Amino acid sequence: MPPVIHSITAAILVLAHAVFLFRGLSMRRWGGRPVRIDKIARFISQFGLPAVILLGFLSQAAPSAIHIILGILPIIVIIAFTPFMAFKRRIPWLLPAINLFLLTSAAVTGMLQL
Protein backbone atom coordinates (compact mmCIF):
# COMPACT_ATOMS: atom_id res chain seq x y z
CA MET A 1 0.00 0.00 0.00
CA PRO A 2 1.43 3.40 -0.93
CA PRO A 3 2.38 5.67 1.98
CA VAL A 4 0.39 8.55 0.46
CA ILE A 5 -2.85 6.86 1.56
CA HIS A 6 -1.64 6.90 5.15
CA SER A 7 -0.70 10.58 4.79
CA ILE A 8 -4.07 11.58 3.37
CA THR A 9 -6.07 9.68 5.99
CA ALA A 10 -3.85 11.10 8.75
CA ALA A 11 -4.48 14.65 7.49
CA ILE A 12 -8.23 13.96 7.48
CA LEU A 13 -7.98 12.60 11.02
CA VAL A 14 -6.13 15.67 12.32
CA LEU A 15 -8.60 18.00 10.61
CA ALA A 16 -11.62 16.09 11.95
CA HIS A 17 -10.16 16.05 15.45
CA ALA A 18 -9.55 19.82 15.30
CA VAL A 19 -13.16 20.38 14.19
CA PHE A 20 -14.37 18.06 16.99
CA LEU A 21 -12.36 19.95 19.65
CA PHE A 22 -12.99 23.53 18.54
CA ARG A 23 -16.69 23.06 17.74
CA GLY A 24 -17.07 21.38 21.14
CA LEU A 25 -15.39 24.32 22.86
CA SER A 26 -17.65 26.71 20.95
CA MET A 27 -20.79 24.79 21.96
CA ARG A 28 -19.60 24.71 25.55
CA ARG A 29 -19.08 28.46 25.63
CA TRP A 30 -22.00 29.68 23.52
CA GLY A 31 -24.41 26.77 23.88
CA GLY A 32 -25.95 24.77 21.13
CA ARG A 33 -26.38 21.19 20.14
CA PRO A 34 -24.21 19.03 17.90
CA VAL A 35 -25.11 19.18 14.23
CA ARG A 36 -24.17 16.87 11.37
CA ILE A 37 -20.58 18.16 11.00
CA ASP A 38 -19.99 17.58 14.73
CA LYS A 39 -21.22 14.01 14.54
CA ILE A 40 -19.12 13.30 11.44
CA ALA A 41 -16.01 14.82 13.06
CA ARG A 42 -16.55 12.78 16.23
CA PHE A 43 -16.99 9.59 14.22
CA ILE A 44 -13.81 10.21 12.23
CA SER A 45 -11.92 11.13 15.42
CA GLN A 46 -12.98 7.93 17.17
CA PHE A 47 -12.80 5.38 14.39
CA GLY A 48 -10.24 7.06 12.16
CA LEU A 49 -7.39 6.70 14.62
CA PRO A 50 -7.24 2.88 14.53
CA ALA A 51 -7.68 2.99 10.75
CA VAL A 52 -4.81 5.44 10.29
CA ILE A 53 -2.56 3.38 12.57
CA LEU A 54 -3.41 0.23 10.61
CA LEU A 55 -2.77 1.98 7.30
CA GLY A 56 0.56 3.19 8.68
CA PHE A 57 1.62 -0.35 9.48
CA LEU A 58 0.43 -1.57 6.07
CA SER A 59 2.20 1.17 4.13
CA GLN A 60 5.63 0.51 2.74
CA ALA A 61 7.20 3.46 4.56
CA ALA A 62 9.82 3.08 7.27
CA PRO A 63 8.79 5.67 9.88
CA SER A 64 10.92 6.81 12.77
CA ALA A 65 10.31 5.47 16.25
CA ILE A 66 9.08 8.88 17.45
CA HIS A 67 6.45 8.94 14.68
CA ILE A 68 5.18 5.51 15.70
CA ILE A 69 5.09 6.46 19.39
CA LEU A 70 3.27 9.75 18.72
CA GLY A 71 0.79 7.93 16.47
CA ILE A 72 -0.07 5.24 19.04
CA LEU A 73 0.05 7.48 22.13
CA PRO A 74 -3.50 8.91 21.68
CA ILE A 75 -4.97 5.43 22.21
CA ILE A 76 -2.86 4.99 25.33
CA VAL A 77 -3.99 8.41 26.61
CA ILE A 78 -7.65 7.50 26.02
CA ILE A 79 -7.19 4.26 27.97
CA ALA A 80 -5.34 6.10 30.75
CA PHE A 81 -8.16 8.68 31.06
CA THR A 82 -10.91 6.04 31.30
CA PRO A 83 -10.79 5.63 35.12
CA PHE A 84 -10.98 9.40 35.63
CA MET A 85 -14.58 10.02 34.52
CA ALA A 86 -15.18 12.78 37.11
CA PHE A 87 -12.05 14.57 35.92
CA LYS A 88 -13.15 14.24 32.30
CA ARG A 89 -16.50 15.82 33.17
CA ARG A 90 -14.87 18.79 34.91
CA ILE A 91 -12.41 19.47 32.08
CA PRO A 92 -13.99 17.84 29.00
CA TRP A 93 -11.67 19.54 26.52
CA LEU A 94 -8.44 18.21 28.07
CA LEU A 95 -8.39 14.75 26.45
CA PRO A 96 -9.28 16.02 22.95
CA ALA A 97 -6.68 18.80 23.29
CA ILE A 98 -3.94 16.36 24.33
CA ASN A 99 -4.85 14.00 21.51
CA LEU A 100 -4.96 16.82 18.95
CA PHE A 101 -1.46 17.83 20.04
CA LEU A 102 -0.23 14.24 19.75
CA LEU A 103 -1.89 13.69 16.36
CA THR A 104 -0.50 16.96 15.00
CA SER A 105 2.95 16.06 16.31
CA ALA A 106 2.73 12.64 14.64
CA ALA A 107 1.67 14.30 11.38
CA VAL A 108 4.57 16.76 11.54
CA THR A 109 7.11 14.02 12.21
CA GLY A 110 5.63 12.03 9.34
CA MET A 111 5.87 14.99 6.97
CA LEU A 112 9.47 15.62 8.02
CA GLN A 113 10.34 12.10 6.84
CA LEU A 114 9.02 12.69 3.32
- Around Cβ 79, how many Cβ atoms within 10 Å? 9
CA distance 69 to 73: 6
The domain segmentation of the chain, as residue ranges, is 3-113
Angle, CA of 3, 10 and 99, to the nearest 5°? 140
**pTM score:** 0.87
Angle, CA of 92, 98 and 103, to the nearest 5°? 130
Q: What is the pLDDT along the chain (114 residues), one digit of tens a residue?
A: 677 888 899 999 999 999 999 998 998 888 888 899 999 999 998 899 999 999 988 887 778 889 999 999 999 998 988 888 777 778 888 889 999 999 999 999 988 887
State the Cα torsion 74-88-19-39 to the nearest 10°: 100
